[in-house]
Amino acid sequence: MFKVTAYERLTTNEYQLWIDAPRIAARAKPGQFVIIRMDETGERIPLTICETNPKDGQIRIIFQVIGKSTAELAEFKTGSELLDVVGPLGTPTAIKNYGTVLLVGGGVGIAALYPTVKGLKQAGNRVITVLGAKSKDILILRDECAKYSDELILMTDDGSIGRKGLVTEAMEDVFNREQIDQAWAVGPGIMMRFCTQVATKHDVPVYVSLNPIMIDGTGMCGCCRVTVDNHIRFACVDGPEFLGAGVDWDSFMQRMRQYRVQEKQAFEQYEQLRQVQ
């Protein structure tokens, strides 16, 4: 059992948990994730380790409610216990001094990007960070990213903070202005795909963090397979980060929709039950 030690609702739909998991806290590196199963009937959901506190044995996760499991997880208040938390899984981000790096995060992907921002800054890079969201009130981790960025550019759909527009516009500006040695893009599939196009156009290699459906997270089922450079790779062990230019985006995005019907059914049933209670 893994205890939730702190619970916070960050925005209407995004939540943060600190979980007591000393072994994971001791070892986790930027880019790695955990798989959580809340209870006996639960599914295994992967969530990025956003931060660790090795001294107190705590890990921090941030998630967006989009379906049944995340809705249920949002009910795990301080003091409650999660049945399974396993990790740190995946290959860590290649943190080193590249020179000048550009990091782009969108929506809840910012939570997954933040440890990389921090890690790259600490490794001596000049860090330019672009964060994007629909509007100001759902733009998470602004101050924390600012702390580890030499420059922070905010983009919102409605212009409520920063500039009005898409993260790719900010990327274009940066690429036109200066030499970037390595880029990262973490967010919804469609965003990462367009970020890859922009970066590739400017000949800048870009890492993306792929979040396909997973089960075991240890390379034993092949559910998380993605095609990269025409080869089948397992995102849970070979990734989740890959160079965006090689990713077969069509099949990646298609596979995310595999269980749409069942997911909808489960969520509706859960909502109904909650209303009754």
Partner 1 sequence: MVKRSYNQTPIKAQDPEVRSHNFNEVVLGYSLDEGRLEASRCLQCKNHPCMLHCPVMIDIPGFIKKIEDGDMDGARKIIAKYSNLGAICGRVCPQEKQCEMACTLGRSKKFEPVAIGKLERLVSDWDLDNPEPVKVIPHDKGRVAVVGSGPSGLTVAGDLAVKGYEVTVFEALSTPGGVLIYGIPEFRLPKATVKKEIDRIRDLGVKIETDVVIGKTITMSELVDDFDACYVGVGAGAPHFMSIPGTNLMGVYSSSEYLTRINLMHSYKFPTYDTPIEPAKQVVVIGGGNVAMDSARSAMRLGAENVSVIYRRSLEELPARIEEYHHSVEEGIQYHWLTNPVAYLGDENGQLTGVKCIKMELGEPDESGRRRPVPIAGSEFIIPATTAIEAIGQGANRVMLDTYPDLKTNKWGYVDANEETCATSVPGVFAGGDIVTGAATVILAMGAGKIAAKEIDEYITNKTAKKTSHSA
Measure the CA–CA gap between 78 and 81, rounded to whole angstroms: 9
Q: C-alpha angle 60/61/67, rounded to 5°?
A: 160
3-state secondary structure of 139: coil
3-state secondary structure of 40: coil
The smaller minimum CB distance to partner 1, of residues 25 and 170, is found at 25
What tokens were used for 174? Answer: 């940066």
Contacts with ligand FAD in 121-160 (CB under 6 A)? none
Contact at 8 Å (CB) between 135 and 157? Answer: yes
The smaller minimum CB distance to ligand FAD, of residues 199 and 224, is found at 224
**Residue 16 labelled as part of a binding site:** no
Among 45, 95, 104, 152, binds ligand FAD (CB under 6 A): 45
Q: Considering the rule CB under 8 A, would residue 53 count as an interface residue with partner 1?
A: no
> Which one of 63-71, 96-104, 153-161, 243-251 is the stretch in contact with ligand FAD (CB under 6 A)?
63-71
Among 124, 159, 165, 222, binds ligand FES (CB under 6 A): 222
The smaller minimum CB distance to ligand FES, of residues 30 and 217, is found at 217
Among 87, 109, 132, 244, binds partner 1 (CB under 8 A): 87
Going by C-alpha positions, the residue among 149, 13, 142 that lies closest to residue 71 is 13
Neighbours of 234 (CB within 10 A): 20
Binding residues for [2Fe-2S] cluster: 221, 224, 236
Which residue ranges are tagged as binding site?
Answer: 62-64, 221, 224, 236
